[in-house]
């Protein structure tokens, strides 16, 4: 019987969208399935659609082999799963927030206060680490309304843009955790499933590398080639081809996206012309 790798993803929301987009970037075609499960047509993969906070348990118990879950849920649930890959998407932070009018003076302000949260484990660990005694009010949803209705003095919750806090008269005062989506795995995978996971990870890394880099082509005067090659090292070294016009060459290379604008300015200073920057669909390093 052929082995199939079972992956759990969030059933709806941004994390679902990003997870499915990642699988698509890996060249995996997902068949239209039901609300709970679907399969891939060109890779031995089954996709389970679950609540984000249930994924660590399902992976730990072997119902799913791997899962894509927010780092916040991974830390909160404390399930014995292995972190395989940090995806780089669905980034957010878990922060402490107080009423906008409060005279916040530092962490000691929370001593003796009531803090509403859906993440009591992470919050309790943070408070104990900083030797703060506070009451934790556990709420399953709409944490941000707690101070306004008198249930708590502050909140500890996920923050992306901060607009929800602002709308509820709160302001962020302490970032406790920076979170992103993680790929986690069951710790007892069979050898055959580990082999499938390795193949999937290879595709994931190729897709991630492609997003982080750009393909660049330019025309350069030959007397500036040595300097330009140092600016564009590429994966090993740039490709340099002679142009029909004497004294000029075409240079092809790869550039990291976060270095893009700084390097472009330096290339122009060295006389580079006709600079083209293109996205990379896949990048095997």
Distance CA 55, CA 271 (A): 54
Look up the CATH superfamily of 5-88+181-189: Periplasmic binding protein-like II (3.40.190.10)
Please tell me which residue, 284 or 98, carries the higher pLDDT value: 98
- Lookup: tokens for 215: 């393909």
Compute how many other C-beta atoms are within 10 angstroms of the C-beta atom of residue 156: 27
What is the rounded end-to-end Cα distance, in angstroms, of the chain?
33
Residues 23 and 30 sit within 8 Å (Cβ to Cβ): yes
Pick the CATH number of 213-279 from 2.102.10.10, 3.30.565.10, 3.30.70.120, 1.10.3720.10: 3.30.70.120
Q: What is the pLDDT of residues 62-115, one digit of tens each?
A: 999 999 999 999 999 999 999 999 999 999 999 999 999 999 999 999 999 999
Q: Domain ranges in the chain?
A: 5-88+181-189, 92-179, 213-279
Confirm whether 5-88+181-189 and 92-179 share one CATH topology. Answer: yes
**What class, spelled out in words, does domain 92-179 have in CATH?**
alpha beta
Distant-in-sequence, close-in-space partners of 116: CB < 8 Å, separation ≥ 6: 137, 138, 139, 143, 146, 147, 151, 152, 154, 155, 156
Q: Furthest-apart CA pair in the chain: how many Å?
A: 78
Taking only the tens place, the pLDDT of each residue in 224-263 is: 999 998 888 766 789 999 999 999 999 999 988 888 888 8
């Amino acid at each position: 019987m052929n082995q199939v790798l079972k992956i759990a993803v969030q059933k709806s929301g941004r994390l679902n969208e990003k997870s499915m987009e990642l699988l698509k970037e890996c060249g995996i075609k997902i068949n239209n399935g039901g609300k709970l499960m679907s399969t891939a047509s060109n890779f031995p993969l089954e996709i389970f659609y679950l609540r984000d906070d249930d994924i660590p348990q399902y992976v730990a118990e072997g119902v799913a082999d791997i899962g894509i879950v927010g780092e916040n849920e991974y830390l909160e649930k404390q399930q014995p799963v292995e972190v395989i890959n940090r995806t780089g998407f669905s980034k957010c932070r878990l922060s402490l927030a107080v009423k906008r009018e409060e005279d916040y003076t530092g962490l000691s302000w929370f001593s003796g206060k009531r803090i509403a949260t859906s993440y009591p484990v992470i919050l309790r660990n943070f408070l104990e680490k900083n030797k703060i005694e506070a009451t934790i009010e556990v709420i399953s949803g709409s944490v941000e309304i707690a101070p306004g209705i008198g249930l708590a003095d502050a909140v500890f919750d996920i923050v992306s843009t901060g607009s929800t806090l602002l709308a509820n008269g709160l302001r962020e005062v302490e970032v406790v955790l920076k979170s992103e989506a993680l790929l986690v795995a069951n710790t007892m995978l069979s050898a055959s499933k580990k082999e499938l996971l390795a193949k999937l990870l290879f595709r994931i890394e190729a897709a991630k590398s492609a997003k982080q880099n750009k393909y660049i082509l330019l025309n350069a005067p030959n007397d500036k080639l040595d300097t330009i090659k140092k600016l564009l090292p590429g994966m090993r070294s740039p490709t340099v081809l002679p142009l029909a016009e004497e004294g000029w060459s075409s240079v092809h290379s790869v550039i990291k996206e976060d270095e893009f604008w700084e390097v472009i300015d330096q290339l122009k200073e060295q006389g580079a012309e006709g600079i083209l920057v293109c996205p990379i669909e896949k990048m095997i390093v």
